[in-house]
Amino acid sequence: MSDPGWTSDIPTVKTSCEAFVDFSGQRGFVMIRFVSLNLFIAIFTILYCVLGLILSLFGASPQRIHFWVAVPWARVILCVCGIRVKATGKENVDPAVPRVYMTNHQSYFDIFALLAHLPVDFKFIMKQELMRIPILGPTMRRAGYIGIERKNPRKAVRSMNEAAKKIREGVSVLIFPEGTRSEDGRLQAFKKGGFNLALRSGCDIVPIAIGNSYRIVPKGSLKIRKGTFSLRVGRPIPVKGYSR
């Protein structure tokens, strides 16, 4: 995977969604924009989580919750926050073939970009702490996402077993092999769990490179900057012939 910080800022055209919350030219309203966007994300997330739980009660499958709830949720948030994603390589995604998608991680907005632009039903492998958040956690479980205890090897193995089961059922999974977000956009050391999962399942690895999202929302910050970042999907990498 190449260095994720390769792209330069790309000129953007203001959309109606961006204009609704555009206070960037008025210093006195910078704080208003900060508060309004984060408040919107919180409220909108709660509403969509409730929708997902209601749909699950009426028998909606995890796949439908992914496409009916998670995908539109992510697209609306990107639009309202004035953030564009330059996505390339979608032709390397085959919804009919289960694969292990691996991507670098720079910002929590990576999640919105992946949901909005990957045309496949995939299940995140994410830190277990997110699964403990009221309303959000139960919704993610209903969508089939997998929580992993990063500091508990036994529980981590169980999570990987669950991921392997989903792959056998024909569902792709997505993992952040760095294990956490990068503060400056540079790649960090990869954990081996995702690679072992691919070898064990015999499915291809699809690399994804995200560039410059750390400039939109840096790690540890809630300040959301308007702009564009990139998401590049690479060609599938076969694992046949490799061993653990």
Mean pLDDT by 10 residues, the chain (244 residues): 45 49 56 90 96 94 92 96 96 96 96 97 93 94 92 89 94 94 89 93 96 90 91 96 74
Output the pLDDT for position 10: 42
| Contact yes or no for 192/160 (Cβ under 8 A) | no
Q: Give CA separation, 128 vs 101, 148, 152, in Å.
A: 19, 5, 11
What domains can you pick out in the chain, each with its CATH number?
A: 16-233 (3.40.1130)
Output the pLDDT for position 222: 84
**pTM of the model as a whole:** 0.84
Q: Give CA separation, 98 vs 108, 169, 189, in Å.
A: 25, 8, 25
Residue 195, token pair as written in the block: 């690679």
| Contact yes or no for 207/118 (Cβ under 8 A) | no
Output the pLDDT for position 9: 46
102 bridge partner residues: 175, 207
